[in-house]
Amino acid sequence: MSLVPPLLVPLLLVQLRLVFGSAGTCQAHIRDDISSFQSPADLPGFTRSVYQRDHALITPESQVFSALPGWTNAQAAYLVTPAIGSHFTMYIARMEASSSSAPPLPGVERLVFVLAGSVLLTTHNVMNDDNELSVNSYAYLPPHFNHTLYSTAPVTFLVLERRYFASQALDNQRPQFLVGNVDDRPLLETPGEVFDLRKLLPSDAIYDFNVHIMDFQPGEYLNVKEVHYFQHGLFLLEGRGIYRLSNQWYPVQAGDAIWMAPFVPQWYGALGRTRSRYFLYKDINRDPLLHPYGY
Ligand code: UGY
Ligand code: MN
């Protein structure tokens, strides 16, 4: 025989629903929250970008594009400028169809590296040479070198500019105009390191900077715990990993840009499933005591 009289059963069920109903509702709310979970990148005010005394990380969501003075139909997002403490600028330039560039300031050298699309470089010399620069192609334009970049379709490229640091020790010889492609640059020795290294400019003292293209397979990392005088402007072209800057450790991925001041401790570990490749500006070949920027 049942302990509960049959008439009381529906009443008990109502009581049970009242007691546990709130818990059920609460769980439903949690489930709603989980199903609407969004990546931190979507949170209002969230950015991975940071700006510190001796380094900065500029991630794509914080790039701000504005008109490039003198250029037509072109915009730039400055990633590194002297306002940050550097002696160079690094920016992403975007040209729409039918655009043209303006020259850099007098005495300023320029390096262009194509990220997407292609651009026509005219050098206005006797031969009126034209060079079509596509992805992974680059051009080095010495100071006072007459040139214009033209686009017939949208193109995106990185630009480095700095005032050329002439050296009397080199009898004031001037660097030469160069065009090239990363794939045609030789692999260089990297004693004690595992990454693949290519340099875009010749290892010649006439150049006051170089650009290193560095490739790491997943799991590879920098062995040297670098703390050095040279400045860096870095743009991560492929892959992802962890960049150590000073005493912070930043998850980074393709499209991120980094500024490293002189002597900032720096290290990279490549993670993920694909190769990491970065573009790295480095000033070289000049005596720091002669540096015109007061160091
Ligand atoms: O050459 C360099 O200074 C380079 N290995 N630095 C870096 O990757 N952070
Ligand atoms: Mn370094």
DSSP letter for each residue of 60-85: GGG---EEPTT-EEEEEEEEE-GGGT
CB of residue 193 inside a 6 A radius of ligand 1: no
- Residue 23: the pLDDT is 45
Cα(113)–Cα(130) distance, rounded to whole angstroms?
Answer: 16
Q: What is the dihedral of CA 105, 94, 196, 267, to 10 degrees?
A: 80
Q: Tokens in use for 186?
A: 């030789």
Q: How crowded is the C-beta side of 195, counted as CA atoms within 13 Å?
A: 23
CB of residue 190 inside a 6 A radius of ligand 1: no
Task: Give the Å distances, CA to CA, from 242 to 194, 197, 230.
Answer: 17, 19, 21
122: left (phi over 0), alpha (psi -120 to 50) or beta: beta
Q: What is the pTM of this model?
A: 0.88
Question: What does the buried/exposed string (b/e) look like for 113-140 if buried means 16 or more CB atoms within 10 Å of the residue's CB?
Answer: bbbebebebbbeeeeeeebebebbbbbb
**Separation of 193 CA from ligand 1 center, angstroms?**
11
Residue 171 CA, distance from chain mean position: 35
Provide the strand spans (E) within 86-239.
Answer: 88-100, 108-116, 119-122, 130-133, 137-141, 148-151, 155-163, 178-181, 196-199, 209-216, 232-238
Q: Tokens in use for 103?
A: 């020259």
- Residue 295: the pLDDT is 44
Do the Cβ atoms of 145 and 139 come closer than 8 Å?
no
**Separation of 225 CA from ligand 2 center, angstroms?**
9
Q: What is the dihedral of CA 142, 144, 145, 148, to 10 degrees?
A: 110
CB of residue 276 inside a 6 A radius of ligand 1: no
Give the atom of ligand 1 at the shortest distance from the alpha carbon of 267.
9
CB of residue 231 inside a 6 A radius of ligand 1: no
- Residue 41: the pLDDT is 82
Pocket test for ligand 1, best of 266, 267, 278, 285 (most atoms within 8 A of CB): 266
**Separation of 125 CA from ligand 1 center, angstroms?**
36
Q: Please count the other Cβ atoms lying within 10 Å of the Cβ belonging to residue 53.
A: 10
Q: Tokens in use for 78?
A: 């400055």
- Residue 285 is which amino acid? N
Residues of the chain scoring pLDDT < 70: 1-35, 126-128, 292-295
**Separation of 41 CA from ligand 2 center, angstroms?**
29
Cα(118)–Cα(206) distance, rounded to whole angstroms?
Answer: 29
Give the atom of ligand 1 at the shortest distance from the alpha carbon of 266.
9
Q: For atom 9 of ligand 1, which residue has the closest CA?
A: 266
**Separation of 35 CA from ligand 2 center, angstroms?**
43
CB of residue 210 inside a 6 A radius of ligand 1: no
Q: Which of 56, 125, 131 is nearest to 90 (CA)?
A: 56
CB of residue 267 inside a 6 A radius of ligand 1: no
Cα(149)–Cα(33) distance, rounded to whole angstroms?
Answer: 51
- Residue 133: the pLDDT is 98
**Cβ contacts of residue 81 below 8 Å, gap of 6+?**
89
Cα(211)–Cα(198) distance, rounded to whole angstroms?
Answer: 8
**Separation of 75 CA from ligand 2 center, angstroms?**
29
Pocket test for ligand 1, best of 188, 212, 276 (most atoms within 8 A of CB): 212
**Separation of 212 CA from ligand 1 center, angstroms?**
8
